[in-house]
Amino acid sequence: MPAADPGGGAAPSASPSPTELGFRPGDPAFLADPYPVFRALADAGPALYYPERDLWLLTRFTDVHAALRHRGLGRIYTHRHSAADLGLPEPEAAYPRWQASEQWSLLNLEPPDHTRLRRLVTKVFTARSVAAMRPTIERICREQLGPLATRESFDVLADFAQPYSIAVICALLGVPAEAGPTLLAWSHAIVKMYEFQTTDAERDGAERAAADFIAYVRALIGDRRTDPRDDLITELVQVADEGDRLSEDEIVSTVIVLLNAGHEATVNTLGNGLRAACLFPDEWRRVVGGEVSPATAVEELIRWDAPLQLFERWVLEDGVELAGRTFRAGERIGMMFGVANRDPERFPDPDRFDIGRGDAGHIGFGGGTHFCIGAPLARLELDIALTQLAAAGPDLHWVEEPQYQPYFVIRGLRSLRVQLR
């Protein structure tokens, strides 16, 4: 039903709706270049009601930043309310295996469960342990990129970014490298459930993939209990803190979210970012020539064309004040990462792709309680990939104009066929 305004009436109608301003997440023309529409949304107001999803869209950096840290918001509401309490329909019981894969995901939990689970996971998935992977990641990158450098052209996504990212995750988890293509297929299927529009076939595919992924991880856990190894799954099985341990279901969800979120972010940042490098070759030459370090360039790749465009949260209590509006419990907020990352109040000349901008304060890895636990690994993977690509591809350019995937929330290309020289 329409959300109430601060005075208790229906959703405001004075401002044009996001759809009237061109916000059409299923439209290929919008997906090809959403940023002019994003500017129109931001100009129309800091909080816009989107009736198609009964969702309030936040369009300003300051408000998105605040919402990410607001304790009155949550990815779920069931830890504090029933659906009846909030006047909401009971959640659908469909797709039980997909829901099981998400049940203990750090992306979805709220304190105190989130606090406990994150404490245990971060005891083994530390910045130091990630940094120690640099030689392994550099080797994997060389193995993936080396043969491609001699080709006339190759697809950045299918030939390089996807196998590279999956191989890194496999090495981290202790999963056989030959399982990479299977894990990739499961990941692609599962993340379709995060989109605004999904078909019955996509939802059924996500359910099958989740069932297979859960069974695979359970088998790995069982193996590591009897045959411990030097890998993350073994450490998750063995970790203990103040007498507390992770349950098998918690390990399953943790492994799945590490692979899905980590893989999708790295692959789409490389695809979207290298498309930008092809659009602005003078900027790419700043990296090639050593003026801008790859680690600095990574931040602009994430900011300028964000791989995650929106993150939703429930309002958990009456009286939450954001974006000049007072919200009530049971409403939903959509934090527009792609809009916030182009906010001129936060980023000077925000539509300019400035590869040396080096502003790590973008909203690309979330924030607050849900700041991405895999951010250090993603940054390291991207740094290494750009370092080796800059050495191999001083004249990086595409050979055919790339097209975006028909999805909004997770933004990425279908392919990016390039030549390096």
**pLDDT at site 3:** 36
**Torsion over CA: 37, 44, 348, 301 (sign):** negative
d(CA 333, CA 48): 10
Helices 134-145/375-392 angle, 10° precision: 40
141, 385 Cβ separation under 8 angstroms: yes
**pLDDT at site 421:** 82
* pTM, full prediction: 0.91
CA distances, 180 to each of 45, 176, 242, 413 (Å): 44, 8, 35, 20
334, 56 Cβ separation under 8 angstroms: yes
Beta pairing class for 240-241 and 417-419 = unpaired
d(CA 340, CA 363): 7
d(CA 386, CA 271): 12
- In sequence order, the 6+-apart residues with CB closer than 8 A to the CB of 348 are none
Each residue of 64-98: pLDDT tens digit?
999 999 999 999 898 888 888 888 888 777 889 99
384, 121 Cβ separation under 8 angstroms: no
**pLDDT at site 14:** 60
Residue with tokens 């993939």: 209
Residues linked to residue 383 through DSSP beta bridges, in sequence order: none
Please give the chain's pLDDT, 421 residues, in tens.
233 333 333 444 467 899 999 999 989 999 999 999 999 999 999 999 999 999 999 999 999 999 999 999 999 898 888 888 888 888 777 889 999 998 899 888 888 899 998 999 988 888 889 999 999 999 999 999 999 989 999 999 999 999 999 999 999 999 988 998 999 899 989 988 888 888 999 999 999 999 999 999 999 999 999 999 999 999 999 987 667 889 999 999 999 988 888 788 899 999 999 999 999 999 999 999 999 999 999 999 999 999 999 999 999 999 999 999 999 999 999 999 999 999 999 999 999 999 999 999 999 988 888 888 889 999 999 999 999 999 998 999 999 999 999 999 999 999 999 999 8
Residue 369 exposure: Cα atoms within 13 Å on the Cβ side? 21
**pLDDT at site 5:** 39
**Residue of 348, 208, 358 whose CA lies nearest to 295:** 358
d(CA 259, CA 129): 17
The residue ranges of every structural domain in the chain are 28-419
Q: How far apart are the first and last CA of the chain?
A: 56
Rounded (5°) CA angle 369-374-378:
135
**pLDDT at site 242:** 67
d(CA 183, CA 315): 34
Burial class (CB in 10 A: 0-12, 13-18, 19+), 401: exposed
Q: Which fold has domain 28-419?
A: Cytochrome p450 (1.10.630)
